[in-house]
């Protein structure tokens, strides 16, 4: 199911959400550049669960903790980036509308940290690098789930375009993530290159915290 638009965003290019997309794209361009700077990005600023669960002391501990944030802006390839940015572009504006620009930015980053910690909890001995914005975006999806239960998502399914209730779309999405995380079993938090438990942790964080940040909904909605 590929989301194409939602029914709740009055403006598609919101301040914080658009800024996050731009930063992710710029960082990805930096990843593609040859030279030492790109290698530093891809080796020093990825999140490795083992480094978080076995924090060293001093500056090394600060560096390891910082990767919970820096890894959110690194991606493993163009399709990885494009998929994440599509979901952020579709679901982010409506959530930002309800929580405000600054709180949305903080919410996004905290959701990403929560997602990273969920990955660490489920695989504390893993040395596999984790990158990507999907954990933070999962928090945005969780926020959308509780803030807009009556929303509708225009979706491409194979060659058909259909409109699906947001609550159903996101329940299916979360069920797939949870099942895949459980099915990973002894293989750890990463199966097929996907950090399933990051998605689960981020989504649950969004469900729990978005209502605490949200402003009252307006009476009128505009279809995006």
First-last CA distance in the chain? 19
pTM of the model as a whole: 0.91
Rounded to an integer, what distance in angstroms lies between the CA atom of residue 41 and that of residue 171?
34
Residue 115 inside a domain? The answer is: yes
Residue 223 inside a domain? The answer is: no
Average pLDDT taken over every residue of the chain: 90
Residue 218 inside a domain? The answer is: no
Residue 40 inside a domain? The answer is: yes
Cβ count near 74 (within 10 Å): 24
For 166-176, write each residue's pLDDT tens digit: 999 999 999 99
Question: Which domain CATH number covers 165?
Answer: 1.20.1540.10
Q: Give the pLDDT score at 55.
A: 82
Residue 155 inside a domain? The answer is: yes
Q: In the chain, how many domains are there?
A: 1
Residue 219 inside a domain? The answer is: no
Q: Give the pLDDT score at 224.
A: 38
Residue 221 inside a domain? The answer is: no
Q: Give the pLDDT score at 158.
A: 83
Query: Where in the sequence is the domain holding 62, given as residue range(s)?
Result: 2-213
Position 56 pLDDT exceeds 80: no
Instruction: Identify the burial level of 158 via C-beta atoms within 10 angstroms of its C-beta, where 0-12 means exposed, 13-18 middle and 19 or more buried.
Output: exposed
Q: Give the pLDDT score at 223.
A: 45
Beta strands in 56-131 (DSSP E): none
């Amino acid at each position: 199911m590929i989301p194409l638009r939602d029914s709740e965003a009055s403006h598609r290019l919101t301040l914080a959400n658009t800024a996050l997309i731009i930063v992710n794209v710029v960082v990805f361009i930096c990843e593609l550049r040859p030279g030492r700077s790109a290698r530093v990005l891809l080796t020093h600023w990825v999140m490795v669960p083992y480094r978080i669960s076995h924090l060293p002391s001093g500056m090394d501990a600060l560096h390891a903790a910082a990767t919970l944030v820096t890894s959110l802006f690194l991606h493993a390839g163009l399709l990885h980036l494009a998929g994440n940015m599509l979901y952020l572009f579709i679901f982010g504006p409506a959530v930002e509308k309800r929580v405000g620009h600054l709180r949305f930015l903080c919410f996004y980053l905290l959701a990403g940290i929560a997602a990273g910690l969920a990955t660490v909890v489920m695989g504390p001995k893993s040395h596999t690098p984790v990158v990507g914005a999907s954990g933070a975006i999962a928090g945005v999806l969780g926020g959308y789930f509780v803030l807009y239960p009556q929303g509708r998502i225009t979706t491409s399914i194979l060659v058909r375009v259909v409109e699906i209730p947001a609550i159903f779309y996101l329940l299916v999405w979360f069920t797939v993530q949870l099942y895949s995380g459980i099915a990973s079993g002894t293989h750890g938090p990463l199966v097929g290159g996907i950090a399933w438990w990051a998605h689960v942790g981020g989504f649950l964080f969004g469900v729990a915290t978005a209502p605490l940040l949200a402003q009252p909904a307006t009476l009128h909605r505009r279809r995006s």
